[in-house]
Structures are given as structure tokens and as C-alpha cells.
Amino acid sequence: MSNQISPKAAQQLLRAIEQDYTLAQSLKSVLQEEKSILEKRQYTAHSALLARKTQLLMELDQADNARRQAMADMGLQLDKNGFDLFVKQVPPTWQERFQSGWEKLADTMNACARLNKVNGKILAHAQNSMEHLMSIIKGTANQVSVYQANGRRNLSASHRMLATA
């Protein structure tokens, strides 16, 4: 190893990557469960799941900060280039373990991002559907202009309202 990277620092980085990966796997499971709940429109179960998701995101942020700090302490850039430089400086017997851990973490985080995007689209669709239903109930959906007895157009369509609260 170079004089810049000690075995202790390398082990600290490996633990941080493994911690990130474990938390990312948990987040992926929660996002998959969230997708299932949203598809089934089980919104009461979704509230409880959001608390778990929020907790995991906070833990993942802390683990990410620990990994970044370990890299910064070794004088490395906090990105893939910095990590690649680090891998070149560790003994060949360690390189595969570090590279494998980094790739698994990156793949899992990419899967989480994709799942989160899908879940966001499901939520947006559900919200649009709910807003459309509410506009129907209020009588404001697809307002048709109606001529009144005095010859003027009426766009309020209040006479079509299904219910009032």
C-alpha cells in the first residue's frame, strides 16, 4: 500500500461500503413493497411504510457520509474516479473485494432509483385520478357551457353538482 492508505483506513472504507450496501438492499426491499402497496391502492399501509423508508434513507445518508469521510481522509476524490485510484493502491488480493463491493452498491442504488421513480409515477397517477374524481363530485369536471334563459353562457355547471359538504 502507498504511505497514504493504511490497512486500517482501507478496512474502514470497506466497512462503510458494506454498510451502504446492506442499507441499500433494505431500501430496495422497502421500495419493492411500496410499489406493491401502491399498485393495490393500500394507502393506509403506505403511511406505515413511509416511516420505515424515511428511517432507512436517514441511515443511508449517515453511512454515505462515513464512506465519503473515509475516502476524504485518504485524500481521495469522493467519486468513482477517487475509488478507482484507491483500488489501484491496495494489494491485488484486496482489489476484487473492494471492486465487487462498490459495484454491488452502485447496482443496488441504481435499482433503488428506478423503483423510486416508478413509485413516484404511480403516486402521481393516483393523485391525478383522485383530483379528477373530486372534480366530478364537485361538478367542475368537463364544464359544458350552458345558455341561460337570458341568453348568457353559464360555465359554472353548479346545477350538475353531485354533492355538497
Local confidence pLDDT in tens for the 165 residues of the chain: 444 578 888 999 999 999 999 999 999 999 999 999 999 988 888 888 999 999 999 999 999 998 999 899 888 998 889 999 999 988 888 999 999 999 999 999 999 999 999 999 988 888 887 777 777 777 776 655 555 666 666 655 454 555 555
What three-state secondary structure class fits 146? strand
Q: What whole-number distance in Å separates Cα of residue 155 and Cα of residue 145?
A: 5
Residue 1 domain flag? no
Residue 137: closest CA among 161, 121, 158, 106: 161
Using alpha carbons, list the distances in angstroms from residue 10 to 67, 74, 97: 11, 9, 11
How many other C-beta atoms are found inside a 10 Å radius of the C-beta of residue 30? 20
Residue 102 domain flag? yes
CATH number at residue 66: 1.20.58.300
**160: which 3 cell numbers?**
350538475
Q: What whole-number distance in Å separates Cα of residue 55 and Cα of residue 44?
A: 18
Residue 15: which domain range?
A: 7-160
Residue 165 domain flag? no
Residue 2 domain flag? no
Q: How many domains would you assign to the chain?
A: 1
Q: What whole-number distance in Å separates Cα of residue 16 and Cα of residue 10?
A: 10
